[in-house]
Structure 1
């Protein structure tokens, strides 16, 4: 039975604006009711002494495929629940499960299973809604996406998919494809976020797409065009467009491998913490030891090798997904890119919450918002994870 009040005290609270030393957070049910700069009395409260560690908003991963040996496209409710549990151990309190390019039937099956899993998810990160990555991609920028299922936007197909599921929050596509602009317009009319991904688009095409709903760049730098030459003339690509369009948000895989330290610094310098979301883009091997693994569905997915802290195609010609967890992303932005702690945390809390349109309830430690909270030390070692007021992971705290 959940206590009437929970009091988290003696910690350094990360608010959207500052770090409060020796602060207290008070929770009632699943809601934060007070954030204080000092010790306050809460009679009969269940107390958590943070021991001087950081008290932060729970991390939000808006692009994630799997972890703990499971993938969201495995065709089982267990996969959803286990992925939510394993990533909660690393500070993730909200996530947007992500699909891979597939046949329509597999996509619809995954969406149906999501509905079941969402109802039964009590031990892991909150499932915000689904992210469909593909199948409308540029073949030349497919990366590790299965080429058998890559195709152009089909109005009959995407209208059917959207009609059958109300759980789709975002959909990533290549905006230069025939029909992609109409696709973006349709997504916007349905309240679904359109994102630019796996694309060979040049600046002018991205700008047109942005004007018609494509407001986010999916895993910036990965599987997208940079400066290209056509008939000897140079054209700015998708990467440059993401920088030049001030209002365009970007997400980055800050595992320290997909993007090197200078690129992490560049993204932060140009887009800032307010327009940059950290994502794991994690596949099933996240939280698992190195070795062979499978990208995508367990039954017919792509065999990959996990080494050097990343998944690779067997011939090692391309990365095949990240095995990062959210705590690693924050740690890398601080250590590799020199980003201040408060801003690094903002990039995986406040910013993704705004991008996904859930910032009224999640993403910051403010009275009235959901009690999604993590406690971590100076090394971003997660000590405790709380989702909606429930402790779902506790490394060593004595709860009194």
Structure 2
């Protein structure tokens, strides 16, 4: 199948072409550059007034459209995967919660089923296991009934069902250092989060292979003038990528500015951490078996603890651009390229010949209008 997008603005890391063409064939980009007439015989999309950017990659989200990945059903994965196309997301990591082991196994089997059978949703790029390796004091909105110490055997069993790309855990827990090393040896990204680790522990684990920090600044040791903490370490360690949630709830605008100023655009990764209420009205929901109230788009437990977000991916980009003033060609590093490079997710994250044909077409407000996944137009705003 040949597909051409004409007269669009092409924005990719380090590239901004005002009037360009994108030619796609067999799931790959064959041309990306200044406008040229389309080859006869293919489908042509008029991209006038639209911006083509690399398809968004959300490596940390739990749900959407009333469903959660931990519902562990093909129906849930399909609803979320199809819904993500509407948010401009072309690839994602299905992210788990701290639930019973049997439920984690079923979650992995559902991921496998989606990957093998669903062709009209965003691409499942792997699993992000968030927990259950957290201390009770740092449970956040994770269910404390299922928390435990790091266990590489559990990872191996789940990874045998469907590939795990990333594990979020508290590095200070017993056996944490060996766990970090074992994850790195398996090619799984160790990601620190929900943690009371001090700076010394953080650095020790960075040296052992921990290169991600989960929902940066949230549920981790803060920056203090006498205790540098994980936040201080994350801000100053060049080798570490940090997840950021730009929803106005998890990070204030000034903190977003500081993170971008200190980390640069090469080490930040925009995530949603969205739960099942994303793209849904306010009301009563659940997260990992815990009741959640969503009011004015903010999700909380009955204790007031923030319980994930209802953020839609493009809205996070809109806020990042508004708060930082970054050019779009820099901001798109945080929406796909950094995730792809740090997790080795294949030839994605740029709009270059030979790359995977995952493209999001945005209007002038940075709202998705079309989503192209694997070279096929899978969603168009009506």
Counterpart of 1:133? Answer: 130
Unaligned stretches of 5+ residues in structure 1: none
Q: Is the 8 A contact 1:32 1:371 kept in 2?
A: yes
CA distance in 2, matches of 1:37, 1:59: 23
Aligned residue among 183, 188, 192 for 1:187: 183
Report the alpha carbon displacement of residue 378 of structure 1 after superposing the two structures with TM: 1.4
Deviations 1:131-190 (A, max 9, x none): 10011112211110111111111344334334x334111111101111011011111111
In the superposition, the TM-score normalised over structure 1's length comes to 0.93
Counterpart of 2:69? Answer: 72
CA distance in 2, matches of 1:172, 1:282: 16
Report the alpha carbon displacement of residue 309 of structure 1 after superposing the two structures with TM: 2.1
Moved runs in structure 1, 4+ residues, more than 4 A?
A: none
Q: Is the 8 A contact 2:38 2:44 kept in 1?
A: no
Q: Is the 8 A contact 2:55 2:336 kept in 1?
A: yes
Counterpart of 2:318? Answer: 331
* 1:101 counterpart = 2:93: no
Counterparts in 2 of 1:167-186, with a 5 A limit? 167-186=163-182
Counterparts in 2 of 1:380-399, with a 5 A limit? 380-396=366-382
Q: Is the 8 A contact 2:369 2:381 kept in 1?
A: yes
Counterparts in 2 of 1:1-400, with a 5 A limit? 4-162=1-159, 164-227=160-223, 234-296=226-288, 301-315=289-303, 317-358=304-345, 360-396=346-382
CA distance in 2, matches of 1:378, 1:302: 39
Q: Which secondary structure state, in structure 2, belongs to the residue aligned with residue 79 of structure 1?
A: helix
Report the alpha carbon displacement of residue 228 of structure 1 after superposing the two structures with TM: 5.9
Q: Which secondary structure state, in structure 2, belongs to the residue aligned with residue 320 of structure 1?
A: coil
Q: How many corresponding residue pairs?
A: 382
CA RMSD in angstroms comes to 1.4
Q: Which secondary structure state, in structure 2, belongs to the residue aligned with residue 378 of structure 1?
A: coil
Deviations 1:184-226 (A, max 9, x none): 1111111111100100001100000111111100100111111
Q: Which secondary structure state, in structure 1, belongs to the residue aligned with residue 202 of structure 2?
A: helix
Q: Is the 8 A contact 2:127 2:162 kept in 1?
A: no
In the superposition, the TM-score normalised over structure 2's length comes to 0.97
Q: Is the 8 A contact 1:265 1:338 kept in 2?
A: no
Report the alpha carbon displacement of residue 335 of structure 1 after superposing the two structures with TM: 1.1
Q: Is the 8 A contact 1:22 1:52 kept in 2?
A: no
Deviations 1:298-321 (A, max 9, x none): xxx111011132211123x21101
CA distance in 2, matches of 1:41, 1:227: 54
Q: Is the 8 A contact 1:226 1:236 kept in 2?
A: yes
Q: Is the 8 A contact 2:68 2:275 kept in 1?
A: yes
Q: Is the 8 A contact 1:22 1:39 kept in 2?
A: no
Change (3 A) 1:15 1:160: closer
Q: Is the 8 A contact 2:49 2:364 kept in 1?
A: no
